[in-house]
C-alpha cells in the first residue's frame, strides 16, 4: 500500500487529522524515500548553491570557538544535515584554525538511513556521532549548533478565525475519497502557542503556530545555558509574528498543491522567528537577514578571492551564486538568521 492510500485509510478510520499530524507524517515519509536535494532532487539549499555559504558558516563557528577560549572539547552539531555539504564546507574552512578540528565532536541529527549513508560519503574520514532525533543530543561540553532549512520542516498547527473564535484546520476526506481541508475544535497545545502582540484577527485569518519548533529551540537554549556556546538558525520566514497560510509543497523545483502530493513533495512553512525568542538571563538573541549576515561575514571578499583563479565561466557562476544568496530579490531578504548565544559571546554577522 502506498503512503497516500495509507494516510487516507487512517483518516477514514480515525477521522480528520491536524495539519501538524499531516505534515509530520508526510515529512517523515518524504525524507526516508526520496532523492530530495540538488539538481536531481526537489529543491536546492544554500550549501548546494555555493561553497561560499558553508565557508562563511565555518568562519562564524571558528570565531565563536575562539571567543569561548578555544575549549579543548566542544560539540559541533548540525540538525537536518542533508547530504553533508554544509558540514563538509565548514570543516574545510576551519582546517587551518589551530586546535579546532582536534577539539570538535561532530554530531549530526538525521533520521533517514539513506541520508546518513550520503553524509558518510560526503564526510569521509570524519568521525561522526549520529542521533535520530534532537532530544537524544547529549553531552556537557560547549556546543555550537547549526541548522539550515531545518526549522521550516518541523510541523505546524494552522488555526483559522471563524465567527469570533479560533478553529483548527484539519485534513479529512471528501465525498469521493480525496484529501480535503476542514475545520475542527482546536487542540489546546495550538491555542496555547498563539503569540502575544498580534493585531485583532479578521474573519478567515489563518495563524500558524509550531510547538515543535518552540520545543526544539527551548531544548537548545537549555543546552547552551548549561554548557555554553551558540546556535545559528537559518531559514526562510519572518521576524515579526503575522497571519497567513505559508504551508507549501515543492517537487522537482516547482511549487505543487499540498494535498495531492502528500509524501511526494518537500513540505514546509515559513518560520516565525519572533515566536522562537524567549527572554533569558543566560542567553542573548540576534536576528538579521541572510544577505546582511553573509555580507557582514565577508562573502563578497571571498567571492573576489575565488574569482582570481577562476575561468570566465567560473567567475560568472560565482557572481550568480553570490547574487542568489545575498540579493533582496533572491534569498537575501526572504531568509532570516537567528543566533542564540551565551551572554558573554558576540556572534559575528549581526
| pLDDT, tens only, 316-328 | 999 999 999 999 9
CB neighbour list of residue 169: distance below 8 Å, 6 or more residues apart: 18, 19, 157, 158, 159, 160, 181, 182, 183, 206
pLDDT at 178 over 60: yes
Task: Report the DSSP beta bridge partners of residue 166.
Answer: 161
Is residue 319 helix, strand or coil?
A: helix
Give the closest residue to 100 by CA, choosing from 52, 142, 148, 139.
142
Question: For cell 551572554, what's the residue?
Answer: 343
**CA 339 distance to own-chain centroid:** 13
- The pLDDT value given to residue 45: 84
What mean pLDDT comes out for the span 5-28? 95
Given pLDDT bands bounded at 50, 70 and 90, which one contains residue 40?
low
Domain boundaries along the sequence of the chain: 3-19+156-208, 34-154+210-238+279-298+332-342
Give the pTM: 0.94
* Segment among 33-37, 91-95, 197-201, 311-315 with least mean pLDDT: 33-37
Q: What is the mean pLDDT of residues 273-300?
A: 94
Asked if residue 30 has pLDDT above 90, the reply is: no
pLDDT surpasses 60 at 38: no
The confidence score (pLDDT) of residue 39 equals 52
Tell me which of 1.20.120.450, 3.30.420.40, 3.40.50.150, 3.40.50.10070 is the CATH number of domain 34-154+210-238+279-298+332-342: 3.40.50.150
Mean pLDDT of the chain: 94
pLDDT of 33 higher than 80:
no
Mean pLDDT over residues 300-312, rounded? 95
Pairing label, strands 271-272, 229-238: parallel
The pLDDT, as a whole number, for residue 257 is: 95
Mean per-residue pLDDT, 217-245: 97
**Cα(317)–Cα(324) distance, integer angstroms:** 10
Q: How many CA atoms lie within 13 A of 154 on its CB side?
A: 23
**Taking residues 285-294, what's their average pLDDT?**
98
Percent of the chain's residues with pLDDT above 70 = 97
Amino acid at each position: 500500500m502506498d503512503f497516500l492510500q495509507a494516510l487516507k485509510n487512517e483518516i477514514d478510520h480515525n477521522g480528520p487529522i491536524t495539519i501538524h499530524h499531516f505534515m509530520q507524517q508526510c515529512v517523515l515519509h518524504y525524507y526516508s524515500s526520496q532523492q530530495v536535494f540538488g539538481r536531481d532532487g526537489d529543491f536546492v539549499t544554500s550549501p548546494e548553491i555555493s561553497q561560499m555559504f558553508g565557508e562563511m558558516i565555518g568562519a562564524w563557528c571558528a570565531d565563536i570557538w575562539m571567543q569561548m577560549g578555544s575549549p579543548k572539547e566542544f560539540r559541533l552539531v548540525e540538525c537536518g544535515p542533508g547530504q553533508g555539504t554544509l558540514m563538509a564546507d565548514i570543516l574545510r574552512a576551519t582546517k587551518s584554525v589551530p586546535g579546532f578540528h582536534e577539539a570538535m565532536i561532530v554530531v549530526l541529527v538525521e533520521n533517514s538511513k539513506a541520508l546518513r549513508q550520503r553524509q558518510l560519503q560526503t564526510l569521509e574520514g570524519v568521525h561522526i556521532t549520529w542521533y535520530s532525533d534532537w532530544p537524544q543530543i547529549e553531552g556537557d561540553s560547549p556546543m555550537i549548533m547549526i541548522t539550515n532549512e531545518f526549522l521550516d520542516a518541523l510541523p505546524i498547527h494552522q488555526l483559522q478565525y471563524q465567527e469570533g473564535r479560533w478553529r483548527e484546520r484539519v485534513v479529512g476526506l471528501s465525498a469521493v475519497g480525496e484529501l480535503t481541508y476542514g475545520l475542527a475544535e482546536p487542540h489546546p497545545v495550538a491555542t496555547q502557542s498563539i503569540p502575544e502582540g498580534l493585531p485583532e484577527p479578521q474573519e478567515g485569518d489563518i495563524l500558524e503556530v509550531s510547538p515543535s519548533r518552540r520545543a526544539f529551540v527551548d531544548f537548545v537554549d537549555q543546552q547552551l545555558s548549561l554548557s555554553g556556546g551558540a546556535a545559528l538558525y537559518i531559514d526562510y520566514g519572518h521576524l515579526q509574528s503575522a497571519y497567513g497560510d505559508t504551508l507549501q509543497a515543492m517537487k522537482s523545483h516547482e511549487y505543487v498543491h499540498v494535498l495531492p502530493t502528500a509524501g511526494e513533495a518537500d513540505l514546509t512553512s515559513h518560520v516565525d522567528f519572533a515566536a522562537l525568542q524567549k527572554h533569558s538571563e543566560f542567553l542573548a538573541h540576534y536576528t538579521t537577514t541572510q544577505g546582511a549576515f553573509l555580507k557582514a561575514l565577508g562573502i563578497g571578499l571571498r567571492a573576489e578571492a575565488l574569482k582570481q583563479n577562476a575561468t570566465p565561466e567560473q567567475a560568472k557562476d560565482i557572481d550568480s551564486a553570490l547574487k542568489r544568496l545575498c540579493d533582496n530579490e533572491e534569498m537575501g531578504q526572504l531568509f532570516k538568521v537567528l543566533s542564540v548565544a551565551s551572554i558573554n559571546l558576540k556572534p559575528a554577522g549581526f
